Structure 1
Amino acid sequence: MDKYNTNDPTTYRHCTVENLNGIRIHYIDENSSSQKVLLLLHGFPEFWFGWREQIPFLVSKGYRVIAPDLRGFGETSCPESAEVYGHKTVSDDLVALLDYLQIPTVTVVAHDWGGAVAWRFTQYYPERTLAVAVFNTPYFPPNKTYVPLEKVVEALPNFRYQMRFCAADCDQELDADPEAFFKRILRLHTEAAGPLYDAENDSIIRGRPQLERSKAITEEQLKYYVEQYKRNGFHGALNWYRTTKVKYEESKDLDPIIKHPAMMVTASDDKALPPSMASGMHKFIPNLEMQHIENAGHWVLWEQPAECNRLLDGFLSKVYGNSKL
């Protein structure tokens, strides 16, 4: 739509509300007259801006689009303690926002960490969820016994970077040069830059060469990412990786079966969350639609925006039918 400019975040409708579930929540809220409401949940290290390519399209299709900065990100509050970053607490944030906006039910659309929250939100609040669509992040049923992150990394070595993110001094490493971090992490899958984690230096950016900006990110977009993290630093966002025990305690008694209509979208070249991790989801989500996008990595939302939007359009059309609400 003409009013939106993906290089200019001020062309989106920004809202802020204080003291919801104890924090300030910043969110984008577009087309608020529509009763077909989508709740868009970003991952790390993004914030609402990760949906910049989807918001205009979804609004053009008649949906109300709400894209919050999750706690620890962007202009939303960043509590100090990692104990308050579990998926139940974040889901409670979202329900508080929906209650404030007087929205009874939503379809949750998510990516990366937002995807992990989306699956759990659907379990914690099934009555508030119409359907769920997730990019890249597979569903895992709640563990019945606690598995520490160290054991997870042994089984999934592609998660080794998460151990570095859990280290207390990682906050300072990334705060010292957020531009270098974003130039390293926000890249097309075809732009080789080595692994995210440097085992030799036990670092993400420290002791490593500065990279050029990805051709998929404009200078204006890069500047906005950097500005947002200079606001509050990386501590809140990194706290999401420090909640393995919290998430286990919160979810261990949940029903592992999700009965809602669901779509899972894998990306062919996602090194963090490869498509193979999504195998077997049908056992737990009987109404699951599996989709796949070729020639895309972890940042599929802006690597292949047209294909992401096409898949969303098809799935949401089935959820809402020909409703004119």
Structure 2
Amino acid sequence: MLLIFFIDVLKIDKAVFIGHDWGGKMVWRMCMYHPERVFAVCGVCTPYDPPRKTYLSLEAVISRVPQFKYQQFLADTATSGRMSHEIFTQRSTLISETELQYYVEQYEHSKFASACQTYATGKIDFDNELGLPSTIQHRALFIGAAKDPVLKPELAKGMARFVPNLEMKFIEDAGHWVLWEQKEEVNAILSEWLAKISTELGYDGMPTAMEPSVWQEWQHEFMTTPEGIKVHYVDVGPRDGLPVVMVHGWPDLWFGWRNITNDLVALLDALKIEKAVFIGHDWGGNMAWRMCLYHPERVLAVCGVCTPFSPPREQYLSLEVMCGILPQFKYQLFLADATNAGKALDASPRRLLTAIFRGKTEQGPESEVLPLREWLMAVDSDLDHMIFKERSAMISEQEMQYYIGQYAQSKLTSACWTYATRKMDFESEKELPTTIEHPALFIGAADDPVLKPEMASGMPKVMSNLEMKLVKDAGHWVLFEQYEEVNAILSEWLAKISAP
């Protein structure tokens, strides 16, 4: 969970967690996933909703709570529209022009697409929460806003049954943005509640409240979670005071995320490994190359199988433009619509995996061979084709069942988002080096129809210590088709790499 890694980075053993909107949901969940790291918890506007025993779809939620209908729009990132109304042109007096400009600049950089995924992961969240406790024993506070049109105060009426140490406060004349509308009353409620907790825990003092006029002076920091999320946070207050983590919701700030590879660093840290050799296939290859750029000091050597190294670009290249240069990548246009593509692929993992795990000669008669994008779009259909029915000889039924079982649990939607983050990846890589100096190996597959070996022709110009090998009679799944040859190449290369 993001918050546990956050307090680890700050070397905080336990903290009080306070969250508004989706941040409220996160802090309630912190009590369930990591109760030992929580002193106390507070949700502003967001009531605690215990894990359910049976899955409730977004449509079913909306039938019970109609004011949540807007989430259907946010859960479908492909939806868009325009309309004219004064709410789009007249700034509220709640926020100054300087503050609004700050929000605009931050979202121009981080974009909204990733944040919208919060609304599209209901089933994943449900599966993850199976088996978690339904009660919270910590000291807790709920602050409701009487005029919140979405998170109406009455949604919190059942909380006391699941949170026995709960205090509840309601603020009149305030809506969802109660932190702005009635900030003085919120501060008073929180100060009183935190003072009691601080006294009980033996802390001498509490952080003093800061006026909004000095927000520009606060210290901004960044950290990256094991899941590869880049998080922006503001660290204020005395280090010897009670640790308090305040988490906001969408589309509020401060918070930002990126899909990058730093989860590998966390893996090394967890295993107490200072440096390692990184070997990756397909998107794993891209991660291994990027590890050299983000964390060169943690890399002994690096190898990409099928995936050539592509240095960070000076100018952004959209997916559409890239597909014009490399037509074999057109399938990514389908996958980049992550929500809809994930839904289609999750409808039949067996059809997908049966079709994708096969070699060059297992595609059926030449006259019936389907382009990759076309058959991906046909996974959730009744299209009758041999690639959906006849399992390849390269994978056993037991191995196939394992893949199906794993994806039935983890789903494909989140994996599809790899294809939808090109612009964010470009922004994240702007300041990275364009060369790799580590000992490196590229293993190409002669018959790979997508990551064609000729794509690696420019690698020696940007990698001074590169070896290149080409495996014949193998396609993209060279690790299945010619595993003995791949093993021999890797064994010979690894023997030359000195241990740290």
Q: TM-score, normalised by structure 1?
A: 0.71
Task: Return closer, same or farther for 1:205/1:291 CA change in 2, 3 Å cut-off.
Answer: farther
Out of 487, 491, 494, the position equivalent to 1:309 is 487
Q: Hey, what's the Cα distance between the residues in 2 that align with 1:282 and 1:259?
A: 11
Out of 377, 388, 394, the position equivalent to 1:216 is 394
Equivalent residue letter for 1:155: I
Q: Tell me how far 1:314 sits from its aligned partner.
A: 0.8
Q: Tell me how far 1:306 sits from its aligned partner.
A: 0.3
5+ long unaligned stretches in structure 1: 1-17, 25-69, 73-82
Task: Return closer, same or farther for 1:152/1:127 CA change in 2, 3 Å cut-off.
Answer: same
Out of 454, 459, 476, the position equivalent to 1:281 is 459
Map 1:115-264 → 2, pairs under 5 A: 115-167=285-337, 168-193=339-364, 194=369, 195-198=371-374, 202-209=377-384, 210-264=388-442
Q: Tell me how far 1:188 sits from its aligned partner.
A: 1.7
Q: Is the 8 A contact 1:142 1:248 kept in 2?
A: yes
Q: Hey, what's the Cα distance between the residues in 2 that align with 1:84 and 1:179?
A: 32
Q: Is the 8 A contact 1:187 1:214 kept in 2?
A: yes
Q: Structure 1, residues 73-117: CA drift from partner, whole Å, max 9, x if none?
A: xxxxxxxxxx8562x3xx221111211211100000110001111
Q: Is the 8 A contact 2:354 2:392 kept in 1?
A: yes
Q: Hey, what's the Cα distance between the residues in 2 that align with 1:202 and 1:127?
A: 42
**Which secondary structure does the structure 2 equivalent of 1:214 belong to?**
coil
Q: Structure 1, residues 222-244: CA drift from partner, whole Å, max 9, x if none?
A: 11111111102111111111110
Q: Hey, what's the Cα distance between the residues in 1 that align with 2:439 and 2:6?
A: 28
- Identical pairs, percent: 39
Q: Is the 8 A contact 2:258 2:428 kept in 1?
A: no
Q: Tell me how far 1:208 sits from its aligned partner.
A: 2.6
Q: Is the 8 A contact 2:302 2:441 kept in 1?
A: yes
Map 1:286-301 → 2, pairs under 5 A: 286-301=464-479
* Root-mean-square deviation over aligned CA pairs: 2.7
Q: TM-score, normalised by structure 2?
A: 0.47
Q: Hey, what's the Cα distance between the residues in 1 that align with 2:347 and 2:257?
A: 25
Aligned residue pairs total: 248
Q: Is the 8 A contact 2:348 2:379 kept in 1?
A: no
The structure whose RCO (Cα within 8 Å, separation 6+) is larger is 1
Task: Return closer, same or farther for 1:238/1:188 CA change in 2, 3 Å cut-off.
Answer: same
Equivalent residue letter for 1:133: C
Q: Tell me how far 1:207 sits from its aligned partner.
A: 4.4
Task: Return closer, same or farther for 1:180/1:317 CA change in 2, 3 Å cut-off.
Answer: same
Q: Is the 8 A contact 1:108 1:133 kept in 2?
A: yes
Q: Tell me how far 1:20 sits from its aligned partner.
A: 5.1
Q: Tell me how far 1:204 sits from its aligned partner.
A: 4.7
**Which secondary structure does the structure 2 equivalent of 1:132 belong to?**
strand
Task: Determine the structure 2 residue equivalent to 1:103.
Answer: 273
Q: Hey, what's the Cα distance between the residues in 1 that align with 2:6 and 2:477?
A: 30
Q: Tell me how far 1:206 sits from its aligned partner.
A: 2.9
Q: Tell me how far 1:189 sits from its aligned partner.
A: 2.1
Q: Hey, what's the Cα distance between the residues in 2 that align with 1:20 and 1:156?
A: 39
Structure 1 runs of 4+ off > 4 angstroms?
18-22, 201-205
Q: Is the 8 A contact 1:106 1:130 kept in 2?
A: yes
Task: Return closer, same or farther for 1:253/1:308 CA change in 2, 3 Å cut-off.
Answer: same
Task: Determine the structure 2 residue equivalent to 1:9.
Answer: none
Equivalent residue letter for 1:217: I
Q: Tell me how far 1:202 sits from its aligned partner.
A: 4.8
